[in-house]
Every structure is written in structure tokens, then in C-alpha cells.
Amino acid sequence: MSRLLIFALACLLPFAAQAGNVYKYTDRNGVTVYTNIKPRGVAKMKIIRVYCPACDVTSTVDWTATGLNIEAFKDEIRKRAAEEGVDEALVRAVIHAESAFNPRALSPAGAQGLMQLIPSTAAIYKVQNSYDAGENIRGGVRHLRMLIDLFDGDLKLVTAGYNAGENAVLRWGGVPPYDETQVYVQRVAILHQRYRQELGLDAPKTTDGPALAANTP
């Protein structure tokens, strides 16, 4: 039997801010444990620095003005988005909200990499190494595709499902009333719109007239 990964706390706990420490050690049964509480009586442990932008519901970042990143992992994002028929701007928005394009990001819940895949989700999409940017993007985009199909393209429900899990969305019949998820859905919506404009996928708007064609000379 493969070693079990136990992740002690989820991102929505008070501990989960933008950065912090997670302790990794192996217990007497050979189980690898990740916890934000420093274990007692453990001789060998590893401290892992956590960076989890999506977990910080009190972030002071102005998401309407923060810098966008259209160059990082450009080829891989474009390739996987095209393969799955997922909006490239949505993929970038999710990566920005989840990890701020940090491929080594790790949340207290054990979500890993650019698109913050938890081990069970990574396993579904046969992602062997969530810290490999290409593998992570492939798995994350496939997961977005599944959610888009499940929720008939309703992006609020899609992003809520990405954050809280599709079962939570189905159980609540909409966006779950979790602070983290409510904030996350708003952030991704803002970033999605901005990335669409930045990538030329939406027509630019004038202040007093209709939208202009994106490629108007």
C-alpha cells in the first residue's frame, strides 16, 4: 500500500494566510504528515514555507490594478487551454489567484504548484509531480474543463467548485457561503476579465460609445 498523505488543516482555517510554515514528518506508521502545528517529540522534520494567495481573505491587493502576467508559462497554458477548449484567460486568472505564478506554492491543505492541485485531484488526472509546471497546468486545465461541463459553463460555480470542491457547490446549490470561496470567486472574476482584455480576447471599450473590435486598425 502506498504511503498515505495526511494534511491536517484546510486553507479556510484562521492559520491560512498568505504565508506561513507547514511541518512535514513521518510518523511511527510510516505515514507522511503535513501540519501547521509544530509536532512535539519528533526528531526529524522538515519546515516547508507556505505561499497561498487564495487562502488570504484579508488581502489588501487591489485586484483591479495589480500587475498581470501574460508571459509566464505562455506556451504551456496556451497549449493545454486549446486542447481542452478552456479560455486561456480563465486559466491565467486561476493561476494568478491560486499561486501568483509560483510553481513551488504549497498551501496548508497540501495543494501544490501553479494551479494548487490537492493530491487526490492530481491523481485523477495522472499528475505525477505537481511541482512540475507542465504537469500541473495539464491537470488543472483538465479539472477546469470537468467543472465547466458539470456546471454548464457558469463561471461563478466553476471557480467556486475549483476552490471549495464541486460537491460543496452541489450541496449548497450555488456558491458556498465560505469566506474564502466568496472572496476567491470575486478575485478570479476580476482577473478573468482583465486577462481577457490584456490578451485581446475582449473588445476594448470607449468611455462614451460601443465596444470596438479588438483588431480595429
Give the whole-angstrom CA distance, residue 141 versus residue 92. Answer: 10
* Cell numbers linked to 148: 465547466
Length in residues, the chain: 217
The vertex-30 CA angle with 21 and 55, nearest 5°, equals 25
Catalytic pick among 76, 83, 88, 98: 98
95 with 66: CB under 8 angstroms?
no
For 161, the 3-state DSSP assignment is: helix
> What pairing do the DSSP bridges indicate for beta strands 5-7 and 19-26?
unpaired
94 with 162: CB under 8 angstroms?
yes
Residue 98 annotated as catalytic: yes
* Cell numbers linked to 136: 500541473
HSE of 161 in the Cβ direction (CA atoms, 13 Å)? 25
Which residues are identified as catalytic?
98
